[in-house]
Amino acid sequence: ETGVTQSPTHLIKTRGQQVTLRCSSQSGHNTVSWYQQALGQGPQFIFQYYREEENGRGNFPPRFSGLQFPNYSSELNVNALELDDSALYLCASSLTGTTNEKLFFGSGTQLSVL
């Protein structure tokens, strides 16, 4: 149990729709990262938020956006869904600024786009 919770666990959308995925970080963590894991692939870095500001972005289009709230919970928003967006979306929290930074992953949200 990592203390990182994601909701919903499963979601089905149709092409062109918008989706919001949520993540509750482990208590005390100030950084959240989002990863996309397509079937049979390793996770790919989408972006990271530190103290409510975007702190790095991977090779994902602008229709992938995020938010981090004052309580360090986070959202991942995807607009204009495409079939290739079907994947497991993983949220990971960490505490930036310590000597032993470590990512704690949630169990993910499985998104299916039809």
Partner 1 sequence: AQSVTQLGSHVSVSEGALVLLRCNYSSSVPPYLFWYVQYPNQGLQLLLKYTSAATLVKGINGFEAEFKKSETSFHLTKPSAHMSDAAEYFCAVSGSRGDQKLVFGTGTRLLVSP
Residues at the contact surface with partner 1, assessed by CB under 8 A: 2, 4, 31, 33, 35, 40-45, 48, 56, 58, 90, 92, 94, 96, 101-103, 105-108
Q: How far is the CB of 9 from partner 1 (least distance, A)?
A: 9
Q: How far is the CB of 16 from partner 1 (least distance, A)?
A: 28
Residue 36, SS3 per DSSP = strand
Nearer to partner 1, 15 or 51 (CB): 51
Nearer to partner 1, 18 or 54 (CB): 54
Residue 21 pairs in a beta bridge with: 76
On whether the CB atoms of residues 31 and 50 are closer than 8 A, the answer is: yes
Q: Which two tokens stand for residue 66?
A: 């995020």
Residue appearing with tokens 């894991």: 37
